[in-house]
């Protein structure tokens, strides 16, 4: 079954704990992105990666970290430095660079920090 | 960061009616994308536009890339109950690097009365 997988769907953490959100894709897409969505808001870019072992900060990278050790995987860590971590997190991928502009989204992970 | 302008925040229409949504920007984009999001799910790509003035259809959906490259509209004809959801516009400058990131509007929540 092809596509983008995000797990888990719902995640609860205590304040002060780091948490890692998973994003896996089997589309063979080069670029991967992490967005954050808050109620009534559009999506805001956290980090993106165009190739393995390379990633760049987006508009709201503070308090987050990522890695891209494999083409298929782009995990996002929400650290204790993130002041308002409760949100809906969306991972997206894009096909071959310089060819396609469409980004496709995974099902999302809703993180709640208690 | 910049956001695209989508208004109103909510729209209520009768089943069978047509509806049009507009998206504007203070700066130009070279790609416009329209997404639909159901509650608790990731956005699904509806239409992608690549050329100023381009008019593209996808079933009952029609979207246009504004000639100034600063706006786009989406039209839904003969609405049905499953059209309910949040509709986002997104703009993109280019294929690679920071230009590849999507800038989103806040979305329009569409309700369809049977």
- DSSP string computed for B27-74: S--SEEEEEEE-TTS--EEEEEE-STT-EEEETTEEEEE-TTSSEEEE
Find tokens 């159901």 and name the residue. Answer: B38
- pLDDT (0 to 100) of residue A100: 63
Given an 8 Å threshold on Cβ–Cβ distance, is A105 in contact with B106?
A: no
| pLDDT tens readout for residues B1-54 | 567 999 889 999 999 999 999 999 999 999 999 999 998 999 999 999 999 999
| pLDDT tens readout for residues A3-62 | 999 999 999 999 989 999 999 999 999 899 999 999 878 899 999 999 999 999 999 999
Query: Rounded distance, CA B87 to CA B106, Å?
Result: 9
Query: Rounded distance, CA B35 to CA B27, Å?
Result: 20
Given an 8 Å threshold on Cβ–Cβ distance, is B96 in contact with A50?
A: yes
Q: Among residues B19, B29, B24, which one has the least CA distance to residue B106?
A: B24
> A79 vs chain B: nearest CA distance in angstroms?
22
> A20 vs chain B: nearest CA distance in angstroms?
19
Given an 8 Å threshold on Cβ–Cβ distance, is B95 in contact with A99?
A: yes
């Amino acid at each position: 079954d092809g596509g983008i997988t995000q797990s888990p769907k719902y995640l609860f953490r205590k304040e002060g704990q780091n948490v890692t959100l998973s994003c896996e894709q089997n589309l063979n897409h080069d670029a991967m992105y992490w967005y954050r969505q808050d109620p009534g808001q559009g999506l805001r870019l956290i980090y993106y990666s165009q190739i393995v072992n390379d990633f760049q900060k987006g508009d709201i990278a503070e308090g987050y970290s990522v890695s891209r050790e494999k083409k298929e995987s782009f995990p996002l860590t929400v650290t204790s430095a993130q002041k308002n971590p409760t949100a809906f997190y969306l991972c997206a991928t894009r096909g071959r660079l310089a060819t396609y502009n469409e980004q496709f989204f995974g099902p999302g992970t809703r993180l709640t920090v208690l | 960061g910049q956001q695209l302008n989508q208004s109103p925040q909510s729209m209520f229409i009768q089943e069978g009616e047509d509806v049009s949504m507009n998206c504007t920007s203070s700066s130009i984009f070279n790609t416009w994308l329209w997404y639909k999001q159901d509650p608790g799910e990731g956005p699904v790509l509806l239409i992608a536009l690549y050329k100023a003035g381009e008019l593209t259809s996808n079933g009952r959906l029609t979207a246009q890339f504004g000639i100034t490259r600063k706006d786009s509209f989406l039209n839904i004809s003969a609405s049905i109950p499953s059209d309910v959801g949040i509709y986002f516009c997104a703009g993109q400058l280019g294929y690679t690097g920071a230009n590849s990131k999507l800038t989103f509007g806040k979305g329009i929540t569409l309700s369809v009365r049977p």
